[in-house]
Structure 1
Amino acid sequence: MQLVEPRPSRPIPIRITPLIDVVFILLVFFMLTTRLLPVDYLELANNTSNRSPITGEPLPELTVTANGKVQWQGQAMALDQLMTELGNAGITEVNLATTGDTPLGAFTRVLSSLVDQGIDSHWKRTNATTP
């Protein structure tokens, strides 16, 4: 015995009008609450006025060796001597490289000393040599 009559098998139409109303209300809300800044006042942090990759001398290259000394201009120097030489030469930016067997501690000491002296350093990664 069936108590409820079955529903007729016709598709139920989806009314789009309320959906469109909601979308327009959201659009108006976001348009009213959004604050647009003028393009003239955008602040960009792009300070490239004092540096040009095309012209100028190449950066000096320092190579940290396994014994903790640093090679610069064909000479192996202790870290204190190197900092004095770089300061006297007025160098503010260098490329820093390591040999394949340089310990991490030696690299870190040299990098920390360069940062303390205010010298920007760029690390040139080299692959370890296998015997």
Structure 2
Amino acid sequence: MQLVEPRPSRPIPIRITPLIDVVFILLVFFMLTTRLLPVDYLELANNTSSRSPVTGDPLPELTVTADGKVQWQGQSMAPDQLVSKLGDAGITEVNLATTGDTPLGAFTRVLSGLTAQNIDTHWKRAKPQTP
């Protein structure tokens, strides 16, 4: 005598909906409990202790051209001439920019020449001009 009916021969489908619900709940839990950035070690480059709050003269604007020369005060000169003129003028901080077609090598030579003479350089590379 058989008390239990035999299992059907077809496979029983696994229902995915409860599994998706559980995974979603776990995802939300971990998103809410995890820190994305280490807040304890957030570094801000905000050291202004050596600067005066009084505004002074604007920094000299230097522009590196495509031929590797540097324009300053309407004059175009070689980087070594520029460094000596800046030293004679007592300038220790400059803004450096490039034209859109300046090669990276020319920019790097000027930047390393200024850095070697202990001239603080703030720089940005200009975007190439589109016709």
**Displacement of 1:112:** 0.3
Partners of 2:78 and 2:53 lie apart in 1 by 31
**Counterparts of 1:46 and 1:128, CA distance in 2:** 31
Q: Which residue number in structure 1 is paired with residue 128 of structure 2?
A: 128
Unaligned segments of structure 1, at least 5 residues: 1-44
Matched residue SS, 1:57: coil
After TM superposition, give the deviation of residue 79 of structure 1 in Å: 1.0
1:104 partner amino acid: L
Distance 1:96 1:46 in 2: 21
Shift of 1:53: 5.9
Q: Deviations over 1:61-80 (max 9, x none)?
A: 10000000000001001111
For the residue of structure 1 that corresponds to 2:112, the secondary structure is helix
Provide, for residues 33-64 of structure 1, a one-character-per-residue CA deviation record: whole Å limited to 9, x for no partner.
Answer: xxxxxxxxxxxx97534424651011001000
Q: Percent identity?
A: 78
Task: Report the count of equivalent residues.
Answer: 87
Structure 2 CA distance for aligned equivalents of residues 105 and 56 of structure 1: 33
Displacement of 1:130 after TM fit?
A: 1.8
Cα distance in structure 1, aligned partners of 2:59 and 2:70 = 16
Q: CA RMSD in A?
A: 1.9
Distance of 2:59 and 2:76 partners within structure 1: 18
The equivalences for 1:42-121 within 5 A come to: 47-52=47-52, 55-121=55-121
Q: Distance in 2 between matches of 1:102 and 1:75?
A: 17
CA distance in 1, matches of 2:53, 2:100: 28
Query: Structure 1 residue runs of 4+, over 4 Å off?
Result: none
Q: Output the TM-score relative to the length of structure 1.
A: 0.61
Whole-angstrom distance in 2 between the partners of 1:107 and 1:62: 11
Q: Aligned AA for 2:129?
A: T
Q: Give deviations 1:2-41, integer Å, cap 9, x for gaps.
A: xxxxxxxxxxxxxxxxxxxxxxxxxxxxxxxxxxxxxxxx
Farther-moved stretch of structure 1 (119-128 vs 81-90): 119-128
